[in-house]
């Protein structure tokens, strides 16, 4: 699994527009907090269970990707869920998995706020909100 900063990921998406960009956050997070444009939401887990169904997740990614050879870029809130999701995809035979370091919102600052120190939004990259 490759680990890329948000800006590096944006550059990769520009160079490789056929890559599958997946937001693994819960649907409600993706919709209301915001997400990069063009991202497909396939949650690693969903409320109220909060436990991944790995076979379901892998099958959904494989369907969307059309196989295991396509580049799959994973983003979550802080870049933590995507590590586990990426490991699961690689174990299932995916050959080019990218983890977006710092995720969409990034780390908490001293005031317990996100998007102020790092992450996709902090970097000023394109995003949308429902």
Look at residue 115 and tell me if it is in a domain. Answer: no
Packing angle, helices 54-65 and 81-91, rounded to 10:
70
We report the CATH number of the domain holding residue 74 as: 3.40.250.10
Mean pLDDT in residue range 65-81: 97
Does residue 108 have a pLDDT over 90? no
- Average pLDDT of span 61-82: 97
Domain assignment present for residue 66? The answer is yes
Separation between Cα atoms, residue 46 and residue 28, nearest integer Å:
9
Q: How many domains does the chain have?
A: 1
For residue 105, tell me if it sits in a domain.
no
Cross-strand bridge partners of residue 24: none
Q: What is the pLDDT of residue 35?
A: 96
Could you give the residue ranges of the DSSP H alpha helices within 2-117?
Answer: 6-15, 27-33, 54-65, 81-91
Candidates 107, 76, 73, 110; CA nearest to 89 is: 73
Tell me which residue range forms the domain holding 38.
2-100
pLDDT score for 130: 81
Residue 75 lies in a domain: yes
Residue 130 falls inside a structural domain? no
């Amino acid at each position: 699994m490759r680990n890329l900063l948000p800006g590096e990921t944006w550059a990769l998406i520009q160079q490789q527009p056929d890559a599958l960009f997946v937001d693994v956050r819960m649907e409600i997070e993706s919709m209301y907090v915001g997400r990069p444009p063009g991202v497909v939401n396939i949650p690693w887990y969903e409320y109220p269970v909060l436990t991944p169904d790995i076979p379901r997740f892998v099958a959904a990614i494989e369907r969307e990707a059309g196989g295991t050879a396509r580049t799959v870029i994973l983003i979550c809130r802080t870049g933590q869920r995507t590590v586990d999701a990426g490991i699961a995809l690689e174990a299932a035979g995916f050959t080019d998995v990218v983890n977006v370091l710092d995720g969409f919102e990034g780390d908490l600052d001293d005031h317990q706020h996100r998007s102020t120190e790092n992450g996709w939004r902090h970097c000023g990259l394109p995003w949308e909100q429902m």
